[in-house]
Amino acid sequence: MKKKVIMSNDHAGVQLAQRLIEFLNKEGYEVDWLGTKTEESVDYPDMARKACEKYINTGGYEFGVLICGTGIGISISANKIKGIFCALPQNCFAAQMAKEHNNANFIAFGARIDYPQSPEEMLKSFINAEVSQSERHIIRRNKMFELEK
């Protein structure tokens, strides 16, 4: 059975979403794409909500991917939803640490951002990272969960 990923994007992220779906498929993932498929304007909070609520309510997904013009609006929106920890990495190291230290369950990208490394490379770093079982990181993650209350 293929591992599943959920993805959503606004109008700015259509092309990057298609690229990342192709990448994820090659990596052995099945992608549940809930984002818009046209460049007709949609609101990124709605796109974040759609993917995050399905992730929380349905289960069975390894992680989620969100895309808007900068990645900022869609990641802020996602992080308003209880149980979602969405990272907006700047490079491969940040993508790795998002999962390793923070156990992020969503990763966001900006389609209009010129990254020093490709979103595919950053996504691969995120996928390959293992969640740290170090006591200090567990304590910090638990404190993040407490902030949701």
Q: Which residues are catalytic?
A: 68, 101
Whether the Cβ atoms of residue 128 and residue 110 lie closer than 8 Å to each other = no
Cα 18 to chain centroid distance, Å, stands at 15
For residue 54, report the phi and psi dihedrals to the nearest 5 degrees.
Answer: -65, -40
Residues contacting 129, CB < 8 A, separation 6+: 95, 96, 97, 98, 99, 100
Question: Tokens representing 120?
Answer: 């595919």
